[in-house]
Structure 1
Amino acid sequence: MNNHVHHSAAAGYKTSADTYVRGRPDYPPQVADWLTGTLGLDDDKTVLDLGAGTGKFTGRLVATGAQVIAVEPVPQMLDKLSAAFPDVLAVNGTATDLPLPDASVDVVVCAQAFHWFSSKEALTEIARVLKPGGKLGLVWNLRDTRVGWVPKLDAIVNALEGDTPRFYTGAWRLAFPHKAFGPLEAQHFGHGHTGSPEDVIFNRVRSTSFIAALPQAQRDKVDEQMKALVAAEPDLRDKELITVPYVTSAFVVVKGG
């Protein structure tokens, strides 16, 4: 299955699973209402957590009462998820080769993941496992660039992305429209990731796939750039706790809608 996984994800996430857990932000409270209201999740539904990673979003799905199936192609990430959620069925798989029967789930959710496999082929496979009228939910957290120092942090990261798929580029949208699905509908929620600079800035950036895949010398250089940014910004300098602002974008499409 690794042949179907982008090299940045295969290499970076293999070594950064622990950092991913520490550095990634949570999701805002409004996501709970989106899952139950917009996606219709409840204890009568089955949901596929596709590209589930370490399970950062899995707990949100479990909280709806739905039966959760997690699919993730990187073994090191899947191990973290299984340890955190032993009652969730967690299996190896990719978006173009899902280990599920036809029309077997009510909802598919991709959190921080769809940009990795956004293609007509993946949408066709997702539609295969969805029941008629089933829903596909896409969720991303993105740093809010309306706050003055955030674009400077993004510039450090984005300079190294290479050919890595990213949400912010919008390239994932090229998979739509798709004959199996109706139109995309979007909602956006603001929130913040509060914690030590080590976690919410340094570990967050270190957990970025293409950063984690760099040679050690280049990763050290990125750390130095981040240290310089923190030292130069009054809102960050000498702070034990900081809040990184985020916008969560949530999209839904309906099979046959």
Structure 2
Amino acid sequence: MSVNATSLSSFNANHELYDKARPSFQQDAVKWLIDTAGLHKGSKVVELAVGTGKFTKSIINNGYDLVAVEPSEGMLTSFKKNFPQVEAKIGSSYETGIEDQWADAVIVAQAYHWFADHKSLEELHRITKPGGKLVFIWNIEVLDKLSPSHWQKISTEKVWSYDVNVPQYRHDKWQDSFKNQTWFKMPYQEKILPYQLSYSDEDMWNYWESRSYITALDGPEKAKLKEFIEGVVSKAPKEERDSEGKLVADRGTHVVVATRV
């Protein structure tokens, strides 16, 4: 198995934008993750597909023995700038470079959907101690309470219309990897925690452009989409903004914790 080509090329290209535009992780979600995974000072943790370290910021000061693994050289460049004190190496879910049964926990933030298959689970089982935890966390769009005319719903669904050839969290196919396998116990534990974020109108295009499938668009098509997004957010009424006039977006954090057999 090999790393998804779209993810690798796009994240090599947009790692600086990704680091700037993507949101951090909410403290209540991180606390639930830590408590459920049983992490404590001295825990051996592998963060896989670490990216630029958006999630690492949430755990860097907890006293873990942390190793970062990332398949994209571009992402790893940004990560090392952000966290020069963390051991970081090129690797993937198919070949992490971590020794057998080393990790108390393996954490994958915003990425498992890219490599959700049995070969990945077999490798993650190999590097995790018996009874150790495999943890996934995603920041997600929440649209179910929004009207059809809401700026967030219109812009999100427009961007999603370009998402046709790459695996994504929202397709739910990542869950299929836990079927017919004996490496991790079922059912896993999970929780979705809602929250809201505020954005300036100008921030929204950067947020969407950091998506791999938008980064991969050719220049004219990307410019067309940018014009559409900017037009939608510029028309958002005050009822969809905060007291400072910023756009308010409904978000959620989905955390999954599975126990190694």
Do Structure 1 and Structure 2 share a fold, with TM-score over 0.5?
yes
User: In the alignment, is the contact (CA less than 8 A) between 1:36 and 1:64 conserved in 2?
Assistant: no
User: What is the aligned counterpart of 2:155 among 132, 142, 153?
Assistant: 153
User: What is the aligned counterpart of 2:191 among 173, 187, 194?
Assistant: 187
User: In the alignment, is the contact (CA less than 8 A) between 1:35 and 1:64 conserved in 2?
Assistant: no
User: In the alignment, is the contact (CA less than 8 A) between 1:51 and 1:113 conserved in 2?
Assistant: yes
CA distance in 1, matches of 2:61, 2:246: 28
- Does residue 14 (structure 1) correspond to residue 4 (structure 2)? The answer is no
SS of 2:217's partner is coil
In the other structure, the counterpart of 2:58 is: 60
User: What is the aligned counterpart of 1:197 among 196, 201, 223?
Assistant: 201
In the other structure, the counterpart of 2:2 is: 4
Instruction: Mark the CA change 1:219 to 1:162 in structure 2 (over 3 Å): closer, same or farther.
Output: same
Structure 1: 5+ residue stretches without partners: none
Residue 240 (structure 1) shift? 5.3
SS of 1:194's partner is strand
Instruction: After superposing the two structures, state which structure 1 stretch, 190-199 or 132-141, moved more.
Output: 190-199
Residues 164-243 of structure 1: matches in 2 within 5 Å? 164-177=166-179, 178-183=181-186, 184-199=188-203, 201-234=204-237, 235=240, 241-243=246-248
User: What is the aligned counterpart of 2:45 among 44, 47, 57?
Assistant: 47
SS of 1:16's partner is helix
CA distance in 2, matches of 1:104, 1:113: 21
Residue 236 (structure 1) shift? 5.6
User: In the alignment, is the contact (CA less than 8 A) between 1:230 and 1:236 conserved in 2?
Assistant: no
How many residues in Structure 1 have an aligned counterpart in Structure 2?
Answer: 252
Residues 8-28 of structure 1: per-residue CA shift (max 9 Å, x gap): 212211221111112111111
Residues 20-53 of structure 1: per-residue CA shift (max 9 Å, x gap): 1121111112123223311111212011111111
Tell me the TM-score normalised to structure 2 length: 0.92
Tell me the TM-score normalised to structure 1 length: 0.93
Structure 2: 5+ residue stretches without partners: none
CA distance in 2, matches of 1:236, 1:12: 31
Residues 14-163 of structure 1: matches in 2 within 5 Å? 14-145=12-143, 146-148=145-147, 149=150, 150-163=152-165
Instruction: Return the letter of the residue paired with 2:15.
Output: A
CA distance in 2, matches of 1:169, 1:32: 23
Residues 137-187 of structure 1: per-residue CA shift (max 9 Å, x gap): 111111110233222122111111121111011000010132011122111
CA distance in 2, matches of 1:144, 1:83: 32
CA distance in 1, matches of 2:137, 2:197: 16
Residues 116-141 of structure 1: per-residue CA shift (max 9 Å, x gap): 00001100000000011000011111
User: In the alignment, is the contact (CA less than 8 A) between 2:241 and 2:248 conserved in 1?
Assistant: no
Residue 208 (structure 1) shift? 0.2
CA distance in 1, matches of 2:146, 2:59: 30
Residue 91 (structure 1) shift? 0.6
Instruction: Return the letter of the residue paired with 2:95.
Output: D
CA distance in 2, matches of 1:198, 1:240: 12
User: In the alignment, is the contact (CA less than 8 A) between 1:46 and 1:68 conserved in 2?
Assistant: yes
SS of 1:4's partner is coil
- Does residue 246 (structure 1) correspond to residue 251 (structure 2)? The answer is yes
Structure 1 residue runs of 4 or more that deviate by more than 4 Å after TM superposition: none
Instruction: Mark the CA change 1:236 to 1:5 in structure 2 (over 3 Å): closer, same or farther.
Output: farther
SS of 2:45's partner is strand
